Amino acid sequence: MDYLAQLGVTSIWMAPIFRNRSVQMFGEGVPPKAGYHGYWILDFTEVDPHFGSKEDLQRLIERAKMSGIGIILDIVVNHTADLIQPKGGVYAYQYEFSKPYLDSSGKAFGDRDYIDKPDFPKLEADISFPAPPTFENDTDRAIKKPDWLNDPTVYHNRGEVSTGGESAQYGEISGLDDLFTEQPRVVQGMIDIYRAWIKDFAIAGFRLDTVKHVNNEFWQRFIPAIQEQATRSGRKDFFIFGEIYDPDPAFLSEFVHRANMPSVLDFGFQRAARGFANGADFTSKVG
């Protein structure tokens, strides 16, 4: 820590530290993959044992603070580890115009008409979704924490992300179970998860993963709730920044103005710097 402080480091941004599915199987004949990056989360309430314990995290935060360094956690609200499988093995994205959601009585509805509203229609796993959810085994049905994440109706269940458009927010990235963030219970559930981390640990901020894959209305509620908790916990300078993986400055600015993002990663600068470094762009583009 002293060495980092001497380099001028003021914050350490850690990849997700929550208990993660370390290995993912992709079917017969397909090599398994490792979730070394931490984005295949099973338990949002615990530190992954590969890193240590909550006590270890507490010591890290305290030691970093002694050197004037804050710890920033990378957090995920868009998805969890891949446990839900579509019945019939249909993984292609299913669009709403042809396959709308159905409530528990089988009546079609537009979910955007009920975003974050208390009267959001009740859903049934077997009838409400264009890609009805199922599990490979009973263990997978109850392995996530908090427990509400084991309910398959809190996920979009529309198949894989396609080329863009609607599927960017409703589709699954690499098969990861995509949370139905338009539902008020999902919004409140995620607020409760990350409020607890702020209450229990003197972390300095959050980096928000996959921002563009989550509806703006979610962020409009989530971010003020997190800022409020941080202030209540004595951290008025709690730093929040979002990841919108796109180099277009105009597109990035939309999330600052419409999604309540305090700040975003500057992928526009990344593109300009890379272009200058490889000789493709002029110096003026970096400026």
CB 11 within 8 Å of CB 4: no
Tokens of 25: 């199987």
Neighbouring CB atoms inside 10 A of 58's CB total 14
Angle CA(104)–CA(107)–CA(111) in degrees, nearest 5? Answer: 85
Q: For residues 46 and 39, what is the distance between their CA atoms, to the nearest angstrom? A: 14
Q: Of the listed 243, 246, 266, 281, which one is catalytic?
A: 243
Tokens of 51: 């890193």
Sign of the torsion formed by the C-alpha atoms of 13, 19, 20 and 23: positive
Q: Please give the helix or strand (H or E) that residue 208 lies within, else none.
A: strand 205-208
Q: For residues 38 and 167, what is the distance between their CA atoms, to the nearest angstrom? A: 23
**Does 243 qualify as catalytic in the annotation?**
yes
With CA atoms as reference, report the closest residue to 202 among 103, 45, 32, 73. 73
With CA atoms as reference, report the closest residue to 263 among 287, 286, 239. 239
Please provide the size of the chain in residues.
287
Tokens 């993959």 belong to: 33
Q: For residues 192 and 24, what is the distance between their CA atoms, to the nearest angstrom? A: 28
Backbone angles phi, psi at 77, to 5 degrees: -125, -15
Q: For residues 80 and 18, what is the distance between their CA atoms, to the nearest angstrom? A: 11
Q: Of the listed 48, 74, 116, 209, which one is catalytic?
A: 209
The residues assigned a catalytic role are 209, 243
